[in-house]
Structure 1
Amino acid sequence: MELYQYEKEHLAALRNNLGGCMVLLKKNGAFPLPYPSSIAAYGSGVRNSVKGGTGSGEVNSRFSVSIEQGLIEAGFSVTTGNWLDAYDREREKAKKEFRKTLRQEARESGMNMIMYAMGAVMPEPEYDLPVVCCADAAIYVVSRISGEGNDRRAVPGDVLLTKSEIRDILALDRMYEHFMLVINAGGPVDLSPVMSVGNILVLSQLGTEMGSALADVLLGKTYPSGKLTTTWAAWEDYCPDIEIGDKEDTHYTEGVYVGYRYFDTVGKKALFPFGFGISYTDFRLGESSLSVHGTQVTVHAEVTNAGNYPGREVVQLYVTAPEGKLKKPYQDLAAFSKTGEIPAGENAAVTLSFDLRELASFDDERHVYFLEPGEYILRLGTSSTDTTPIGILTLGEEVILKKVRAIIPKTDLKERNYERAVSEQLPQDLPRFEIDTSCIAPEET
């Protein structure tokens, strides 16, 4: 296929930056590999690589590089062709059974098959295929697809791993010194059964150059520097107030305690917290400074690359707001900044800023956006659970920022409130700033 020059330039730029979209969750020093060699590639995503979602999450592209193709083009010798052929046959049988079940259920419901099946996704099937130690390195690619029109389900082959996946992932981790578990999915997968694995990479769904970009990361030509935008936890540890699955009536009663705001508030440990992501190298946050001008808050921080590879780090600023009229989560992300590439042994400066108004809460009784009086604790770190208090802002009185008019009736939906489980003794020498409330002008209603 002949590519235009602008396409070549676009794809090259895309490929060079895709490592920054991958999230390394665990490492044991076995990667990156020094050169392309023989590799045993297992799992549904090696050939059936998911570049995007379903429905509007899908894009018609002229081509797409699968993970298998990307490895081969990078110079790897993929030794598991027979296993992949056998898996394809197992998956095709499962797909036929899945479609047969959908047709039967559509008839029983009286719905048109197309409408009934819209958004339906087949869970990855169980299989019984042997894995062997036949290469210098190995990967297992867990692949999941999802999109509009349906909720993901807590079943094996979707949010949960299948027994076959768990068995083979653990076996490969024991067999190979150089083994990487790769997650090719647009959302969390419950990894609790395989947390002993030494190297885990969230590839996500990275479009047409995904297979080539993964090969680049395995070889260290580029490096992962992304962060999780959702909390990854064991399924049973997620907020109990989420009632998904009913197509007609779904009640979202978690209120403000969504994602990390729930886990951090109740003190429940996730497998991998919001904002988490490591790199081939190691970083250390140095000294920080804080300044306040009106409602504008600015933090300057220094990041040191303390490892042996170049890399990029994402510094994150969280704020614990005071509780008064309304309950609040333990903390909210207020700002973040990603460094440029930092060579091994060198430092970089980052600046983060936010406006205190952005932390306003909405009071649905008074129909106002307002700031509670009290102490706002600033926390700097590299994930929602890896932070250090760096300063306190004090607001002496309530500030109403905006009053609005109610245009929809109030519902009887009961939202849950949680008590903050985390208690701490703050350092006495933290910088403190008194916010002048007279400089906070209300917005027009």
Structure 2
Amino acid sequence: EIYLKPFEIVVKKASPWAIMSSYNKLNGRYTSQDPWLLIDVLRKEWGFEGIVMTDWGAGDDPVEQINSGIDLIMPGDDKIYEKLVSAYREGRLKPERVEESFNRLLKIFEKTLSFRGYRPSYRPDLEKNAEITYKAGLEGAVLLKNIGETLPLKTGSQVAVFGVGQIATLKSGMGSGHNHSRYTINIVEGLRKAGLKIDEELFERYHKYVVENYGLDNLEKLYKDEIYPKKLNEDFIEEDLIKKTAERNDVALIVITRISGEAWDRSVAGGDFYLSLDEKKLIEKVSKAFRSVGKKVVAILNIAGPIEIYSWRDLVDAILLIWLPGQEAGRIVADLLIGKVSPSGKLPITFPKSWTDVPVSISSECYPGTPPENPVKVRYCEDIYVGYRYYDTFGVEPAYEFGYGLSYTSFEYSGLDMKIDKDNIILSIKIRNIGRYPGREVVQVYVKAPGEEIDRPEQELKAFKKTKMLRPGEEEEIKIEISIKDLATYHPEKKRWIVERGWHEIRIGSSSRDIRLTGKIYIPEEIVF
């Protein structure tokens, strides 16, 4: 009900051609060599008919992989081929499995456009693709803080931009998180194009510093190709210059960046989960200078995952989280800052106040594993209390909760109507824009189970839906359908899925901690799957 659920949804609703197994072991066995996972669950329970492939170089036994349900070993080599042929001849590789995989691969080949005679034009519609990237980045950005209507900025505002990320803007991650872009609009470029006036003296200092330390070639690779962005010292602007920029600009923008990718874990050290000392000093100096003359400070987070914000968020007036938003990064930032579009993204993950609030922080056995310097074993410590389930159940106050995200406008929730129709719960909610700006809201549905027969989290997200763009005063009725089966939890003793008998509380909200409407659904008898 936690880790498999997203894959089940994809299999049943999208019918993908292929699924890839993961690298890790589950209960001591590689997932690419686990017939329970790849055959019993994926094929027999869910009805998946496509091919299953390994991740690149995953697992340690190609014969066991094929026998366990793998159809395609990636990338494959002569040694693997020889092992498979030898095992087939010796009877260790099941002939029926080879035939099954062969037939599945043939069916996939027959579905491909190239098999059906299509020849690519080699002229993709890059402008259309860029607009999709722009929209995705725009819709996913999250406004974490906005005191006294710091944002949106007025078009034509004079802005001082701090942080090397204004130039070395991160469009994407590393490894499989990377993309090859025709271009990347960095943050300063985007601000200029939107009509904001950049403090040129300050920009020239940053431009010279970044070019000298990166090199133009590496900066170009950062925009278009894949290169690890070198960590640069952020505390190199003199306090006298910071004070001068505070006098002549309307607002300060501070860009904080973090990259991510394959094959490394998060670190609790400064410069990763926590700010580095130079980043802290920059924020402190800029905040002091600008606030002393009645000016506002905005933090822009160009990051891939949660960082610690609680200790320094009072030093800034607004925080805009843009993640790694793709090649249109600068345009996205600018359009959000000037209010061309109101932020409408919500956090898909909790931002804790401190690392010690994270459930796996209780022991190195849980994270990063043992031995800590080079882990070979990780103990799964969270049980069912993963992410917001942990924070909500045990009353741990986060910096920003799961599902959180502000807007430049406000929304009113009303008119909750609930009914059970056969095997589904049908919900209807009215959402009205009661603010001054157009905007979209993400309606979230959480369910609190009885929890009498088996331990359950305080609540779990069961559905969400985003409204259309609502003008001030406009209302939309949102319809949401939840399968009763989605209320089920796995009972380890009964080895069955159950929906508990009793009252299930339906909570409708703007985040996991901002519940606006509630109701209850009664299940008269335990339902078993």
Bucket of the pairwise TM-score, normalised by the shorter protein:
0.7 to 0.9
CA contact (8 A) 1:357 1:371 kept: yes
Asked if 1:244 is matched to 2:367, the reply is yes
Distance in 2 (alpha carbons) for counterparts of 1:121 and 1:249:
30
Structure 2 residue 301 is matched with structure 1 residue 183: yes
- The match for 2:270 is 156
Task: Please point out which of 287, 292, 317 is paired with 2:420.
Answer: 292
The one of 165, 174, 180 equivalent to 1:60 is 180
The alignment partner of 1:208 has SS state of coil
Matching residue within 259, 277, 289 for 2:405 = 277
2:125 corresponds in structure 1 to 6
Distance in 2 (CA, whole Å) between partners of 1:331 and 1:138 is 39
Identify the range of structure 1 (356-365 vs 78-87) with the bigger mean alpha-carbon deviation.
78-87
Q: Which residue of 2 aligns with 1:227?
A: 346
Letter in 2 for 1:365: E
1:63, distance to aligned residue in structure 2 (A): 1.3
Higher relative contact order (CA 8 A, sep 6+): 1
Alpha-carbon contact 2:424-2:482 (below 8 Å) kept: yes
Deviation (angstroms), 1:17: 5.3
- What is the deviation of 1:377? 0.9
SS in 2 for 1:45: helix
In structure 2, relative to structure 1, the CA distance for the partners of 1:366 and 1:223 (3 Å cut) is: same
- 1:44-443 to structure 2, matched below 5 A, reads 44-79=164-199, 80-85=202-207, 87-88=209-210, 125=233, 127-130=235-238, 131-132=242-243, 133=246, 134-174=248-288, 175=290, 177-196=295-314, 197-234=316-353, 235-239=355-359, 240-241=361-362, 243-246=366-369, 247-388=375-516, 390-401=518-529
| Cα distance change on mapping 1:288 and 1:389 into 2, 3 Å | closer
Partner SS state of residue 181, structure 1: strand
Distance, in Å, in 2 between the alignment partners of 1:200 and 1:22 is: 11
Deviation, 1:121, is 8.2
Residues in 1 aligned to 2:429 and 2:447: alpha-carbon distance in whole angstroms: 16
Q: Distance in 1 between matches of 2:183 and 2:476?
A: 39
CA distance in 1, matches of 2:161, 2:174: 25
**Per-residue displacement from partner, 1:23-68 (whole Å, max 9, x unpaired)?**
0111121221221333211113211111111110001122111112
Deviations 1:333-392 (A, max 9, x none): 011111101111222221222112112111233322222222211111110011145222
Are 2:138 and 1:30 equivalent residues in the alignment? no
State the shift of 1:125 in Å.
4.5
Distance in 1 between residues matched to 2:440 and 2:310, nearest whole Å: 28
Q: Separation in 1 of the partners of 2:258 and 2:525?
A: 49
Q: Secondary structure at the match of 1:217?
A: helix
Inter-CA distance 218–280: structure 2 relative to 1 (3 Å threshold): same
Give the AA of the match of 1:195.
R
Q: Is the CA contact 1:380–1:389 (under 8 Å) kept in the aligned structure 2?
A: yes
Note the residue ranges of structure 2 that are not aligned, 5 or more in a row.
1-121, 216-226, 370-374
Instruction: Give the alignment's TM-score, normalised by structure 2.
Output: 0.66
Alpha-carbon distance between aligned partners in 2 of 1:389 and 1:224, rounded to the nearest angstrom: 23
Alignment TM-score, normalising by the size of structure 1: 0.78
Question: 1:6 and 1:85, CA in 2 relative to 1: closer, same or farther beyond 3 A?
Answer: closer
Distance 1:53 1:335 in 2: 28
Q: Secondary structure at the match of 1:9?
A: helix
Structure 1 counterpart of 2:13:
none
| Partners of 1:182 and 1:238 in 2: CA distance | 24
Contact in 2 for aligned 1:126/1:162 (Cα 8 Å): no
Contact 1:25 1:278 in 2 (8 A): yes
Change (3 A) 1:208 1:293: same
Assess, with a 3 A threshold, how the Cα gap between structure 1 residues 90 and 370 changes in structure 2: closer, same or farther: farther
CA-based RMSD: 2.7
* Alpha-carbon spacing, 1:121–1:320, altered in 2? closer, same or farther (3 Å): farther
Kept after mapping to 1: 8 A contact 2:163/2:234: no
Q: Distance in 2 between matches of 1:276 and 1:124?
A: 31
Distance in 2 between residues matched to 1:400 and 1:13, nearest whole Å: 43
Give the letter for the 1:203 counterpart. Answer: I
Note closer, same or farther for the CA distance 1:266–1:87 as it changes in structure 2 (3 Å cut): farther
Aligned residues of 2:507 and 2:515 also touching (Cα < 8 A): yes
Percent identity over paired residues: 31
Assess, with a 3 A threshold, how the Cα gap between structure 1 residues 322 and 137 changes in structure 2: closer, same or farther: same
Using a 3 Å threshold, how does the CA distance of structure 1 residues 172 and 285 change in structure 2: closer, same or farther?
farther
Between structure 1 and structure 2, the one with the greater Rg is 2
Contact 1:241 1:252 in 2 (8 A): no
Shift of the 125–10 alpha-carbon distance from structure 1 to 2, 3 Å rule, reads: same
The whole-number CA distance in structure 2 between the counterparts of 1:210 and 1:68 is 10
Equivalent residues of 1:124, 1:162 under 8 A apart: no
Write the distance in 2 (CA, Å) between the matches of 1:368 and 1:125: 55
- Superimposed CA distance per residue, residues 89-117 of structure 1 (whole angstroms, 9 cap, x where no aligned partner): 79659xxxxxxxxxxxxxxxxxxxxxxxx
User: AA paired with 1:147?
Assistant: G
